[in-house]
Amino acid sequence: MARAHRIFWAARLQVGQFFFAVVSLVASGVPGSVWAGEGSAASAAYVTNQIGNSLSIVDLATEKQVAEIAIGGKPAGIAMSPDGRSAYVAAPDGREVIAIDTASRSVIKRAAVGKGPLGIAVNPTTGAIYVADWYEHRLYVVDPATLAVTATVPTGQSPSGVAVTADGTTILTADRDSNQVSVIDAATFKVQSTIATGERPFGITIDEAAGRAYTANVAANTITVIDLKSRTHLSDVPVGLRPYAVARAANLLFVTNQHDESVSVIDAVTLQPVKTLRVGGFPEGIEADPTGSTIWVACWDANTLEKIDVATLSVTARIPVGEGPRAFGKFLR
């Protein structure tokens, strides 16, 4: 299987996109193996610049930064409202959640939340905002209209990444200093179970098509693959140095390696390595376009948002943004 996929790769790289489409169709015979791109392409990226205390808005069609909004508070986490009208930023130094109106590109509300708000996600069905507190070891449930905290859920130590299943029923947190994922019921806000990961899980990503979740384990240089239905640890897959987060497009996983200036490309089915792509220094936030044709990566040291073409596995754009981009979360809309 692994060998067959590598041969696919060699062929795909030479023959290009048309062949890729054929390969995808052939591979879709494997149950649950293919991630079909759905929805239309994202139009903009909202990139938190932690050192620059700002939010870069990048037009993805023209591949240019079109605005940089002053935010303050050393912003890191980012999430989008289900209708795309608001972007929510978590600023750990400012200890705030900040709501941005995406149409007017302006801050419309900000509110104190906890002592170290970092990871942030939005429930796709209810619009509720979930904020992980790095120092207080809990998850806050925040009302999107008022930005008031409406519930608090204790998690493991230093929860970092937050993700919500597409049906809105389950919240996952990557509890960095407990080497685990907490599985939280989005209705009762009770922790239903915890799942062991590799050392220091930071980013967490849900792969709906495969029924899996992935954590990037900073200290282990691995990603952990979790089966969501059985809530069990499936395997740990080696990647580069200090992985930050994972994204999936087509039949591939893409992992940012902070200390390697690289993105590891892994076959999502066989979990075998496919390729390592050189990107800007300290690649961090990473997200797949809804069509599955493009991956976007924020590079903290290079001060860029970089575009990876999924068909050719090459970096096709390096877009200058603000100082110290992190884009930790879902930053495309």
Partner 1 sequence: MVRVVASLMVALAALLPVAAEAHGPSRQKVVSKIEINAPVDKVWATVGNFQDMSWHPAVAKTEGTGGNDVGATRKLTLQSGGVINEKLTKYSAEERGLAYEITDVDVKVLPVTNYSAQMNVSGTAEKTIVEWRAAFYRGFVNNDPPPELSDEAAVKAVTEIVQGGLGALKKKFEGG
Quick note: the x/- pattern for partner 1 over 222-261, rule CB under 8 A, is -------------------x-----------------x--
Stretch that binds partner 1, among 114-122, 163-171, 188-196, 230-238 (CB under 8 A): 114-122
Rounded distance between C-alpha atoms, residue 319 and residue 212, angstroms: 31
- Helix (H/G/I), strand (E/B), else coil: 6: helix
By CB under 8 A, which span of 2-10, 102-110, 111-119, 229-237 interacts with partner 1? Answer: 111-119
Please select the residue that binds partner 1; options are 116, 144, 201, 283, rule is CB under 8 A: 116
Size of interface with partner 1, in residues (CB under 8 A): 25
> Whole-angstrom Cα distance, residue 234 to residue 227?
6
Mark the segment that binds partner 1 (CB under 8 A) among 33-41, 59-67, 115-123, 223-231.
Answer: 115-123
CA distances from 250 to 37, 207, 210, 229, 255 (A): 7, 11, 12, 22, 14
Q: Where are the beta strands (DSSP E) in 169-272?
A: 170-175, 180-185, 191-196, 201-207, 212-217, 222-227, 232-238, 243-249, 252-257, 262-267
CA gap 67, 54 in Å, rounded: 10
The span from the CA of 111 to the CA of 311, in Å, is: 42
In eight-state DSSP terms, residue 263 is E
Is residue 202 at the binding interface for partner 1, with CB under 8 A as the rule? no
Tell me if 72 contacts partner 1 by CB under 8 A.
no
Please pick, from the candidates 1, 4, 26, 51, the single residue that binds partner 1 as defined by CB under 8 A: 51
DSSP state of 332: B
CB nearer partner 1, residue 284 or residue 289: 284
Instruction: Specify the residue, 269 or 321, whose C-beta has the smaller distance to partner 1.
Output: 321
Distance CA 194, CA 184 (A): 9
Q: Which is nearer to partner 1, 219 or 234 (CB)?
A: 219
Comparing CB distances to partner 1, the nearer of 73 and 292 is 73
| Strands 149-154 vs 159-164: parallel, antiparallel or unpaired | unpaired
Binding residue for partner 1 (CB under 8 A) from 282, 283, 304, 332? 282
Task: Tell me: does residue 157 bind partner 1 (CB under 8 A).
Answer: yes
Compute the C-alpha angle 132/136/140, nearest 5°.
40
Per CB under 8 A, 93 contacts partner 1: yes
Is 288 a binder of partner 1 (CB under 8 A)? Answer: no
Residues that bind partner 1 (CB under 8 A): 50-51, 74, 76, 92-93, 115-116, 118, 134-135, 157-158, 177, 200, 218-219, 241, 259, 281-282, 300-301, 323-324
